[in-house]
Amino acid sequence: DTEVTQTPKHLVMGMTNKKSLKCEQHMGHRAMYWYKQKAKKPPELMFVYSYEKLSINESVPSRFSPECPNSSLLNLHLHALQPEDSALYLCASSQGSRAPGELFFGEGSRLTVL
Amino acid sequence: TQLLEQSPQFLSIQEGENLTVYCNSSSVFSSLQWYRQEPGEGPVLLVTVVTGGEVKKLKRLTFQFGDARKDSSLHITAAQPGDTGLYLCAGVPSGTYKYIFGTGTRLKVLA
């Protein structure tokens, strides 16, 4: 069982909807990540939070808005998405972000934008 | 620019065969991780290699880190259908703070 929990597992939304993806970890990790993965491709980094502060934003469109309410939680707020944003969204955590070593991933949230 | 290139991209083999997957970069890595990902799930960590020249074994899987810490390989002996999945190497290139993934190798083992 993964120690990083993501909800929902599946999400279908229209282009005008507002929804959120949630991620939770209780391993005491201080870095949390959002990755986007298209079919048959490797994960692509979107955001990194280190000690609850946004440390890396990989030029992600503003229709994706991350939030880190505390060290255990990470949200990704979605608004006015496009069909090409359909993908598997993966959350991960690590002990640190500078030399993270091992990342622990959730099972992902499969997003479909209609 | 993709800093971690994996080869082959796709491999389909019969049960019982051996295979090697390569992960190459022009950058130095302080460590490299290997993950396996099954469809619809997140990547699962297999191993971390840290020291140049290091060899680690995990049952039928053997991982090696290049002497210069720029490349790594994964060798699977007597592959089984349960080994099927996407294999990813990953790490932080020297001089950056971004944890990146390799291009991936999709393995299919046929019974």
Whether residue B12 is predicted with pLDDT greater than 80 in this model: the reply is yes
List pLDDT tens digits, range B74-92: 999 999 999 999 999 999 8
Contacts of B56 in chain A (CB under 8 A): none
Task: Please give the pLDDT value at position B76.
Answer: 98
Q: Which residue type, as a one-letter code, is found at position A85?
A: D
Residue A98: pLDDT band with limits 50, 70, 90 = low
Is the pLDDT higher at B92 or at A7?
A7
Q: Which residue type, as a one-letter code, is found at position B88?
A: L
Q: Do A42 and B30 touch (CB under 8 A)?
A: no
List pLDDT tens digits, range A60-84: 999 999 999 998 999 999 999 999 9
DSSP class per residue in B12-49: EEETT--EEEEEE-SS-BS-EEEEEE-TTS--EEEEEE
Can you tell me the mean pLDDT for B8-16? Answer: 97
Q: Do A101 and B33 touch (CB under 8 A)?
A: yes
Instruction: Please tell me which of the candidates B42, B97, B106 has its beta carbon nearest to residue A106.
Output: B42
Measure A15 CA to nearest chain B CA, in Å: 23
> What is the C-alpha separation between B23 and B68, in angstroms, rounded?
13
Q: Judging by beta carbons within 10 Å of its beta carbon (0-12, 13-18, 19+), is residue B75 exposed, middle or buried?
A: middle
Structure tokens, B86: 């996407």
List pLDDT tens digits, range A11-56: 999 988 899 999 999 999 999 999 999 998 999 999 999 999 998 8
For B49, which residue in chain A has the nearest alpha carbon? Answer: A101
Instruction: Please tell me which of the candidates A45, A90, A101 has its beta carbon nearest to residue B42.
Output: A90
Task: Please give the pLDDT value at position A2.
Answer: 58
Task: Please give the pLDDT value at position B1.
Answer: 55
List pLDDT tens digits, range B24-58: 999 999 899 999 999 888 999 999 999 999 999 99
